[in-house]
Structures are given as C-alpha cells and as structure tokens.
Amino acid sequence: MSDPEPRPVRARRKEARPQEIVRAALHLFAQRGFAATRLDDVAAEAGISKGTLYLYFENKESLFRAVVQESVVPNIDAIEQLIATYDGPTPDLLRPMVERFAHIVESEVGCVPKIVISEAGNFPAIARFYADTVVKRGLGILTRVLERGMARGEFRRLDIPQTLPLIVAPFLMMAQWQHSLAPHVEIQFDPRAVLNQHLEFLLRALAPEPR
C-alpha cells in the first residue's frame, strides 16, 4: 500500500495547529487503529510536516492522550455539569446522558474504546491512561446517579459495583460493533435505537418494588 501524498502545507494560526493535528489523528485512528497509524500519516492528513508535529507531540502515545482529552473528556465534563445543575427526577436525568453517549458511538470518537481494548496488550500505557482519565470518571458519574435515585426512592436498592457493568456493556458493544464489524457485514444495528431500548429496559429494572 503506497503512502498517502502529503496535503499541501497550509498557512494557519499557530494556536490552531494542535487541534488540527488531534482531529487528523482521531480520523486516522478510527480508520486504521492505533498501531497501524504512523506519525507521518497524521502529519500528511493535517497538512503539516512531521517536524512540525513533533513541536506539539512527543510521540504517538502523547498524541493519543491528546485525542482522548480533546474528544472524550469534554463529554464527561458536560455530563458532570448536567448532573450538578439538574434537580428533576433521576430517571429523566438518564435520557440526556444516553443521548450524548449515543452521539459518541455514532461519531469517530466512538472508536476510542475499541482502540483501547484492542491495543491494551501491546500498549498498556494508553490503557492505564484511559482507565484513569475516562473509565474512573464515567463509573463515578453513574455511581452518583444511582445513589441519587436510591436516596430519592426513585430506584430500588442496588449493589452498585455489580450493576455498573450491566449498564455500560451495551454502550461498549455498540461502539465496538459500529467501528469494527458494521462496515463489513450484512448484520446492522441502529446504535441510537439500541441504546434507547436499553434505557427503557434499564428504567424498568431500576424501578422501585411496588409497595
């Protein structure tokens, strides 16, 4: 396979370059995976020289960390802000959360969990970084939502640590499917419809026992 021809180097504001490099890296990571993406490829996709790329990122792992910080973490920040300002019923709080997660799964950002899972054995540093930066915060958010629902009598009493994987699993499955098998097989799912159906099942499972 021949190397892609570098895009013409464009004049741009210096402060815009890191964001453009990160966007180029996300696109290539989504298309090729982490291991198969070279920094030369990212530089060509961003329309810069490889030397310019090294002015901002030490290596490919630091670039992947930037992709997570720029594309995944803002979604976590937004959900935390939503929870902090929300004063309505807890079941209704889950709906905008699922909507945001569905958007992530459908976009290129949804490739990030797949990359981490598939590359963890060869690149344990990115797995540890993702676990600390995304997984811990995400599970913490779900824990707070479940505790809120139980405290208000809107959810049944739960063993939260054992419940968290049951909530998260369909989101991971849809992200994996969308960015691995979906482009190559006849079997197709609508991720947004699947996740909305999961929410309806989840709300029934969380509902308090009738008195």
Helix (H) / strand (E) containing 198: helix 191-206
Tell me phi and psi for residue 153, to 5 degrees: 75, 15
Summarised one tens digit per residue, pLDDT across range 4-21 is 454 444 444 454 589 999
- Please report the pLDDT score of residue 9 as a whole number: 45
47: left (phi over 0), alpha (psi -120 to 50) or beta: left
- Structure-token pair, residue 202: 């989840």
- Please report the pLDDT score of residue 11 as a whole number: 46
Q: Which residue intervals of the chain bear CATH 1.10.10.60?
A: 14-56
Mean residue pLDDT across the chain: 91
**Read out DSSP for 16-67?**
GHHHHHHHHHHHHHHHH-STT--HHHHHHHHTS-HHHHHHH-SSHHHHHHHH
Whose tokens are 């909530």? That residue is 167
Arch. (CATH architecture) of 14-56 = Orthogonal Bundle (1.10)
80: left (phi over 0), alpha (psi -120 to 50) or beta: alpha
Which CATH code of 1.20.1530, 1.10.3470, 1.25.40, 1.10.357 fits the domain covering 65-206? 1.10.357
Helix (H) / strand (E) containing 206: helix 191-206
pLDDT bin (cut points 50, 70, 90) of residue 1 is: very low
Determine how many CB atoms are found less than 10 A away from the CB of residue 98.
17
Are 102 and 40 within 8 A, CB to CB? no
Q: Which residue intervals of the chain bear CATH 1.10.357?
A: 65-206
Summarised one tens digit per residue, pLDDT across range 78-124 is 999 999 999 999 999 999 999 999 999 999 999 999 999 999 999 99
Are 34 and 64 within 8 A, CB to CB? yes
Residue 3 reports pLDDT greater than 70: no
Provide the CB-side half-sphere exposure for 192 (13 A, CA).
7
Q: pTM for the whole thing?
A: 0.86
